[in-house]
Amino acid sequence: MAQDKVTSLDVAKRAGVSQSAVSRVFTPGASASPKTVEKVKAAASALGYRPNMMARAMITGKSRIIGLIVAYLDNQFYPLALEGLSNALQAQGYHLLVFTASNAQDRVTEIVQDLMDYQVDGIITASVGMSNDLTARCAAAGIPVVMFNRGQDETEISAVTSANVAGGRKAADFLMAAGHRHIGHISGWQGSSTGRDRQRGFLGALAAAGHVPTHVIDGMYDRQIAGDAALTMMDSATPPDAIFVGNDHMAFAVMDALRSRGIRIPDDTAIIGYDDVPAAAWAAYDLTTVRQPVNQMVQATTELILAQITDPDAPARRIEIDGPLITRGSAPQNQRTKT
C-alpha cells in the first residue's frame, strides 16, 4: 500500500515547532535559529520529508528555479559553463532547469513557454537568440533574461560575453607579428553575435595593417563544415600559412583535416582557435587560442540574473570580459619568413 505523503505539518509536530518554522528552515535566506534548524532537519530526515518546491512557488510566487536554454553542448565550452552556472546558483539557493534547443526560433519559443509554465524566476540563454516577441513576453511575465556568450541588438536584454572583437584582433596581431602573410579565417556562424564580432575584430586588424585575408569562410560552428573549409583553402591557388578559426571546437576539426592531408602544423600552416577548452591543452592539439574567461563570465551572469530577480526595474546591462591569447605549439611566437 502506498504510504501517506509526509507534510510540513507532520514535521512540525515531530520537531515540536510551528509549521511556519518548518517553512523558514527550508526557504533559502529565511531566518531560523540553529537549534530550530537542527530539530526540523532531524524530524524531516526521520520522516523522509522533502519540501514541495512547486507548491511553494504557487504560494510565494518564487520557484527558486532558473531556466537555462543551451544549443551547443558539442562544444566543450558549454558543459563547463553549465557546471559553473549550476554551482554558482546552487550556492545562492537556486537550481537550474536545463533545456537544449537549436537556434530555430519556433523551438526556442516552445521552450520559453515551458519555462514560464514551470514558473521559473529567470531565464539564461547560452548560444541561443531571443526574438523581440519572446523578449516582450518574458518582460510582461516579469521573468528577467540574461544572454550568456551571445549578444543581441535589443538593449533591454542583459548579456555577458568575452571581448570578442578584441579577441579577434589579438589573433590577427599575433599571426602578423609571427610573420604570416597568407592568412585565412574560418569564422563562427555569422548568424551569431560571437561569430560576427570575432570576425570583425580579426579582419579589422588585418585591414589596418594592409593585409587581405586569403579566404573567409563561415564554419557554422560545425566540425564537418569547418574541416571541409580548411581543405578548400589548402586546395586553392594561394593556400594559407595560418588560419584563425572561430572556436576551438571547429579548430580541432581543422587540425584533423589538415593532418589527414599530411599538412604539418605549424610548419606548413599555423592554427589559432577561440575558447581555450580543456582539449586545447592536450598534446594531440596543443592549440594556440584566445581564452574565454568562463569563470568570470559565469560569475557576472549569476550576479546579473539574481540582481534582476531581486529588482525587476534594474536596467539591462551588457558585460564584456577580456581574455588572453594562450600560446601553444599550433601557432608559435617565433618569427617566420613568408613569401
The phi, psi pair for 306, rounded to 5°, reads -70, -35
- Give one word for 297, left, alpha or beta, with left for phi > 0 and alpha for psi -120 to 50: alpha
pLDDT score of 109:
84
Q: Residue 95 contacts by C-beta under 8 Å, 6 or more apart in sequence? A: 64, 65, 66, 86, 89
Domains of the chain by start residue, with CATH? 8-51 (no CATH), 63-162+294-321 (3.40.50.2300), 164-293 (3.40.50.2300)
Residue type, 317: R
Tell me the pLDDT tens digit for each residue of 150-167. Answer: 988 766 789 999 999 999
pLDDT under 70: residue ranges of the chain: 1-4, 28-29, 52-61, 103-104, 154-155, 335-339
What pLDDT shows up at residue 337?
46
CA nearest neighbour of 108 among 153, 145, 74, 140 = 145
Residue 150 · residue 125 · CB < 8 Å: yes
**CA–CA gap between residue 212 and residue 190 (Å, rounded):** 19
Sequence-ordered list of residues with C-beta below 8 angstroms from that of 222, at least 6 positions apart, any chain: 250
The angle subtended at Cα 277 by Cα 226 and Cα 219, nearest 5°, is: 15
Task: Write the pLDDT tens digit of every residue in 50-88.
Answer: 776 656 655 556 788 999 999 878 899 999 999 999 999
Of 222, 284, 223, nearest to 259 by C-alpha is 284
Mean pLDDT, the chain, rounded, equals 90
- Nearest by Cα to 139 from 161, 123, 163, 159: 123
pLDDT (0 to 100) of residue 8: 85
> How far is Cα 321 from Cα 297, in angstroms, rounded to an integer?
7
